[in-house]
């Protein structure tokens, strides 16, 4: 479906073309990192829509659907920003049911959600397959931490005025700007802008 052209959509079309040119055919995973959850999810949704417009099948997933349950998180101590940063997510489940099977291709099925983060309840697995050439757009905080960043074909860091203590820890320890493919200024969501600097 042809999308309505706006400055945001035009920017995303250019970004999608860059990602496809760099990665060619096959399965591609794009990580959309950033502290502002609503802006990050909307950006990832819109990017996936642009891939679909270009007739490249795109699948969406969000890291909050791979959070540890509240009971599991409580094993790591009090509810603090540091606990969220270090122990908030189940990266093992993320790899096992989504990233690894998506990478395998063929008829291997994958799951894009394991827990409802609002209700803190497990979600019945909905196994999905994809064609040989497909994009997975995954959004989430802390996606460019050391144990994850080698899993992405293209890494995006969204920057806005939103920040929090957990993000401060992440920025201090991991310096994600050093690892990403693109730093994007979202201070005006309608007009995303690429940030070029020595740190990216």
pLDDT, tens digit, for every residue of 21-64? 999 889 999 999 999 999 999 999 999 999 999 999 999 999 99
The dihedral of CA 163, 165, 168, 174: what is its sign? negative
**Residue 7 contacts by C-beta under 8 Å, 6 or more apart in sequence?**
190, 191
Q: In this predicted model, what pLDDT tens digit does every residue of 78-134 receive, in sequence order?
A: 999 999 999 999 999 999 999 999 999 888 999 999 999 999 999 999 999 999 999
Rounded to two decimals, what is the model's pTM? 0.94
Helix-, strand-, coil-residue percentages of the chain, each rounded to 5 = 40, 20, 40
Q: Residue 159 domain-assigned? A: yes
DSSP sequence for 54-81? TT--EEEEEGGGGBPPHHHHHTT-SS-H
Could you say which DSSP state residue 198 is in?
Answer: T
**Would you say residue 37 lies in a domain?**
yes
d(CA 111, CA 193): 32
Residue 72 lies in a domain: yes
Q: Does residue 200 form part of some domain? A: no
- Measured distance CA(43)–CA(32) in Å, rounded: 8
CATH number at residue 22: 3.40.50.300
Q: How many domains does the chain have?
A: 1
How far is the C-alpha of 151 from the C-alpha of 156, rounded, in Å?
Answer: 13
Q: Is residue 157 part of a domain?
A: yes
2 in any annotated domain:
no
Range(s) of the domain holding residue 39: 7-195
Question: Does 34 map to a domain?
Answer: yes
Residue 89 lies in a domain: yes
């Amino acid at each position: 479906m042809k999308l309505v052209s706006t400055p945001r959509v035009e920017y995303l079309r250019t970004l999608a073309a860059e990602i496809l040119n760099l990665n060619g055919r096959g399965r591609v995973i794009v990580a959309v990192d950033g502290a502002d959850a609503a802006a990050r999810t909307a950006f990832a949704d819109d990017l996936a829509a642009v891939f679909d417009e270009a007739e490249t099948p795109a699948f969406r997933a969000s890291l909050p659907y791979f959070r540890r349950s509240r009971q599991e998180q409580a094993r790591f101590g009090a509810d603090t920003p540091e606990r969220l940063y270090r122990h908030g997510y189940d990266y093992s489940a993320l790899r096992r049911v989504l990233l690894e099977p998506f990478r395998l291709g063929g008829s291997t099925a994958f799951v894009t959600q394991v827990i409802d983060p609002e209700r803190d309840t497990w979600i019945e697995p909905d196994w999905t397959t994809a064609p040989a050439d497909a994009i997975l757009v995954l959004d989430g905080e802390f996606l460019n931490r050391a144990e994850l960043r080698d899993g992405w074909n293209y890494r995006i860091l969204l920057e806005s005025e939103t920040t929090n203590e957990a993000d401060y820890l992440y920025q201090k320890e991991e310096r994600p700007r050093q690892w990403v493919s693109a730093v994007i200024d979202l201070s005006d969501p309608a007009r995303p802008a690429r940030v070029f600097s020595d740190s990216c």
